[in-house]
């Protein structure tokens, strides 16, 4: 009588481990890894600089491997050494050029950078605690580590359809606080993405058929795209960043647009065809005309889930 429950528990555990392994294999930055979603490339204007802080929480030194990806999906396998309990900082120039004084950091080399960087630190005995920041010429420091929290599933078919909620996103008319979404496809396959928006009064713009307007398209495998408020509202230039998706009947769906904002937006980002929610990473960025950038990504969805 005692064997059957034990066997069931073992089978459940084995299935869970298998599912976890399958999900991990589908991610560019695998299950259990630490991902830094936004590290600016070197040479930013106005003297602004991205830098990474690594903390070794162990009493033993470690040679820490990690991979740097640019927005086109080009990956560079790097390594840095940390002593016991050591904390190490390196900036974007160190990342690209290498710096023997920064833990013998190897750099990505002379190859041109497309866009910016995102970094992946694998789990294991060499694991560190990484964070990323932007430091401006006037000393302002802001955390670039968080990404928008996964908010759950929605029903679309047998495949995983995931959603993320962005509670604040400025309209295109706000030029002093310009919002943009950074979408990272952390998988070897393209991902279907749908963005819908609620305006400040809770309304949605509708099309000629009375349907809520949305932006939809395919995000190429292992790449990053940043969508500005202007692009989301007008649709201008989106076809260069997202390829058209197809519906269940095989018909091409226009990329679309959200229409004009009214007050601040609430955005809902949905993706379908995923094996795991970690295959899409979203960052909510806001910049000022002086080039100051802040990360408005929420690290908790408790308030959203109490609806």
pLDDT in tens, the chain (307 residues): 333 333 333 333 333 333 333 333 457 898 889 999 999 999 987 788 999 999 999 999 999 999 999 999 999 999 999 999 999 999 999 999 999 999 999 999 978 899 999 999 998 867 899 999 999 888 889 999 999 999 988 767 656 689 999 999 999 999 999 999 999 999 999 999 999 999 999 999 999 999 999 999 999 999 999 999 999 999 999 999 999 998 878 899 999 999 999 999 999 999 987 878 889 999 999 999 988 999 999 765 444 333 3
Q: Quick one: pLDDT at residue 154?
A: 73
- What per-residue confidence (pLDDT) applies to 258? 98
Question: Which of residues 89, 124, 143 is at a domain's end?
Answer: 143
Angle at 255 between CA 249 and CA 261, to 5 degrees: 130
CA–chain centroid gap for 136, Å, is: 22
282 and 297 Cβ atoms separated by less than 8 Å? yes
Q: Do 124 and 157 belong together in one domain?
A: no
Is 57 a domain residue?
yes
- Integer-rounded Cα Rg, in Å, for the chain is 21
Position 29 scores a pLDDT of 93
In whole angstroms, give the CA distance from residue 302 to residue 299: 10
What is the domain count for the chain?
2
| Domain shared by 134 and 187, yes or no | no
Residue where one domain finishes, among candidates 143, 167, 202:
143
pLDDT of the residue at 127: 80
Same domain? For 205 and 230 the reply is yes
| The pTM of the whole model exceeds 0.75 | yes
CATH number at residue 112: 2.60.290.11
**Same domain flag for 67 and 139:** yes
Same domain, yes or no: 135 and 169: no
Instruction: Tell me if 74 is assigned to some domain.
Output: yes
Do 164 and 109 share a structural domain?
Answer: no
Task: Give the model's pLDDT for residue 158.
Answer: 58
Domain with 237, as residue range(s), is: 150-305
**Same domain assignment for residues 276 and 300:** yes
Has residue 90 been placed in a domain?
Answer: yes
Is residue 177 in some structural domain?
yes
């Amino acid at each position: 009588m005692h064997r059957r429950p034990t066997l069931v528990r073992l089978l459940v555990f084995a299935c869970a481990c298998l599912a976890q392994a399958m999900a991990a294999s589908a991610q560019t930055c695998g299950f259990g890894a630490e991902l830094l979603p936004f590290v600016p490339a070197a040479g930013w204007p106005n003297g602004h600089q991205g830098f990474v802080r690594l903390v070794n929480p162990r009493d033993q030194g470690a040679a820490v491997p990690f991979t740097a990806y640019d927005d086109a999906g080009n990956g560079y396998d790097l390594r840095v050494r940390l002593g016991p309990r050591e904390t190490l900082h390196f900036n974007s120039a160190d990342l690209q050029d290498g710096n023997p004084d920064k833990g013998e950091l190897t750099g990505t080399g002379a190859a041109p950078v497309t866009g910016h960087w995102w970094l992946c630190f694998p789990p294991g005995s060499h694991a560190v605690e990484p964070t990323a920041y932007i430091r401006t010429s006037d000393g302002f420091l802001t955390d670039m580590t968080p990404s928008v929290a996964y908010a759950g599933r929605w029903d679309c078919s047998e495949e995983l359809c995931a959603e993320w909620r962005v509670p604040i996103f400025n309209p295109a008319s706000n030029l002093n606080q310009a919002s943009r979404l950074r979408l990272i496809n952390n998988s070897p396959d393209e991902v279907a993405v749908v963005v819908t928006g609620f305006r400040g009064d809770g309304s949605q713009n509708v099309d000629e058929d009375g349907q809520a307007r949305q932006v939809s398209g395919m995000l190429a495998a292992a790449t990053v795209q940043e969508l500005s408020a202007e692009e989301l509202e007008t649709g201008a230039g989106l076809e260069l960043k997202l390829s058209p998706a197809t519906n269940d009947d095989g018909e091409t769906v226009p990329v679309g647009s959200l229409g004009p904002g009214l007050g601040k937006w609430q955005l809902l980002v949905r993706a379908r065809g995923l094996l795991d929610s970690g295959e899409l990473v979203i960052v909510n960025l806001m910049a000022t005309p002086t080039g100051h950038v802040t990360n408005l990504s929420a690290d908790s969805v408790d308030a959203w889930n109490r609806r």
